Amino acid sequence: MSTLFEPWSLRSLTVPNRVWMAPMCQYSAATSGPDTGAVNDWHHTHYTSRAVGGAGLILTEATAVGPEGRISPADLGLWNDRQTEALTGLTRALRERGAVPAIQLAHAGRKAGTRPPWDGGGPLAEDEGPWRPSAPSPVPFAEGCRTPSELTEDGIREVVGQFAASARRALTAGFQVAEVHGAHGYLISEFLSPHSNRRTDSYGGDFAGRTRFALEVVDAVRAVWPDELPLFFRISATDWLAEHGWTPDDTVRFAHDLREHGVDVLDVSSGGNAPDVRVPTEPGYQVPFAARVRREAGLPVAAVGLITEPEQAAKILASGEADAVLLGRQLLREPYWPLRAAKELGGPPSVVPAQYERAY
C-alpha cells in the first residue's frame, strides 16, 4: 500500500493517512450580528464532506485572531465565545468521521479589509465598513490598496497575544493541530520579507530582526498549545522576486529556527507577498521547496501546489520529498479524492465511514 495511506504519529497524535486538506478561505461567515465570523451550515457541509471523503487531516481556512485581521468581513474568526462554541460542533463532526481537525490561525496584515473574490476582490468601499489594515511598514500591497498603519511595538505585542488567545480557544473548541499562517503576504509573511518589511527597529533589517515577530508568535502559541499536540507553520518558500524578497535559502535557514521553537511540520507554499510576479506553475511546482527543507533542515514537511493525481502524490512521498501532501483545489473539485486514490493505488482507504464500508 502507498505511503499516502500509512498513519503518521506526531507527538501523541496519530493522523490516519498522509492525504490532507489544505486551508482554503470560503468567505461565507456572517458579517454582522452575534454570529459574525462563526462557522455555519456551509462550513459544516464543506468540511465534513472531505472527512467522509477520506482526508486524514482537515485544515480549516485562515481564521482571524482578531476582527482587524480578517481578509474580508466574511472570514472566520476566533476571538469570542460564540465563534469557539460554533467550532466545537465542527471539530466533533470531523473526529467522528475519522479526520484530525486542524485550524490555521491568521492575521491578514496589509491585505485585510477586502471583498470576497466573487465580489471583485479589492479594498472595501467607504460604505462597506472598511478598516485600516496594519503591517510592519506603511507600504500598500498594490496600487489602489489602502496604505496600512505601521504596527508599533505595543501593537506587535497585542497581535502576539491575539494569536495565543485564539490558540487557547482552538484547544477549547476541540482542534488537535494548530497552524500559524506565515505565508502568502499576510502579516507574518510581511514581517519576514524585506520586500514588505522596511523597519529599522528590532523587528526589521537583518534576518534575525525580520523573523523575530514570527518566532514570538510561534513561542506564544506553543506556550498555550499542549506539549502532546503538534504545531504547524505555513510558509511561502519564496516571494518569486528577483531581488529584495524572501528566498528559498531564507526558508531553509528559518526552518532550523522553527524546529528549535517547537514547530513539528512546515507547510510549504509560495508567493502572495508581491503582485504581478511570474510564477512558473506546473504540477508539483512547489514540491522542490518542501523537499529541500526536509533534506537540509531536518524538519518534516507537507507539500502543496498542483498535486492532483494519486500516482503523483504517492511518488512525492515515496521519493522522500515530503511527509504528507496537502490538496487544495483538487479537493474542491473532487471531495472524495482520497477514496479514489486508494482504489487506484491498490489498497483500502484508511478512513471510511462505517456506513460506506460495504462499498470497499
203 counts as catalytic? no
Using the CB atoms, write b or e for 136-152: b if 16+ within 10 Å.
bbebbbeeebbebeebe
pLDDT at position 106, please? 98
User: Which residue among 27, 186, 203, 336 is the active-site one?
Assistant: 186
Question: Using 50, 70 and 90 to split pLDDT, how confident is the model at 313?
Answer: very high
Average pLDDT over residues 163-176: 98
Q: How much is the pLDDT for 296?
A: 98
Average pLDDT of the chain, as a whole number: 96
Instruction: For residue 329, give the H/E element and its range.
Output: helix 329-333
80 or 358, higher pLDDT = 80
DSSP-derived secondary structure for 249-277: HHHHHHHHHHHHTT--EEEEE---SSTT-
**DSSP per position, 96-129:** HTTPEEEEEEE--GGG-SB--GGGT-SBPPGGG-
Predicted confidence band at 334 (pLDDT cuts at 50, 70, 90)?
very high
- The count of structural domains within the chain is 1
Contact 248, 283 (CB under 8 A): no
User: Which residues fall within 8 angstroms of residue 202, CB to CB, at 6 or more apart?
Assistant: 209, 212
Domain hosting 330: range is 3-359
CATH code of residue 202: 3.20.20.70
User: What pLDDT score was predicted for residue 91?
Assistant: 98
What are the pLDDT digits (tens) for 113-159? 999 999 988 999 999 999 999 999 999 999 999 999 999 999 999 99
Query: What pLDDT is stored for residue 68 in this prediction?
Result: 97
Contact indicator for 223, 164 with CB cutoff of 8 Å:
yes
Put simply, whether the predicted model's pTM sits higher than 0.85 gets the answer yes
pLDDT category of residue 359 using cuts at 50, 70 and 90: confident
Q: pLDDT above 70 covers what percent of the chain?
A: 100
CB-count exposure of residue 13 (10 Å: 0-12, 13-18, 19+): middle
Q: How many CA atoms lie within 13 A of 61 on its CB side?
A: 24
Q: Grid coordinates representing 160?
A: 502576539
DSSP for residue 152: P
Q: Looking at residue 36, what DSSP letter applies?
A: B
Q: Classify strands 324-327 and 100-106 as parallel, antiparallel or unpaired.
A: unpaired
Name the band, by pLDDT with cuts 50, 70 and 90, for residue 1. Answer: low
Q: How far apart are CA 69 and CA 119, in angstroms?
A: 19
pLDDT in tens, 21-68: 999 999 999 999 999 999 999 999 999 999 999 999 999 999 999 999
pLDDT, mean of residues 168-189: 98
The four Cα atoms 63, 327, 176, 343 give a dihedral, to 10 degrees, of 150
For residue range 184-239, what is the model confidence (pLDDT) as tens digits?
A: 999 999 999 999 999 999 999 999 999 999 999 999 999 999 999 999 999 999 99
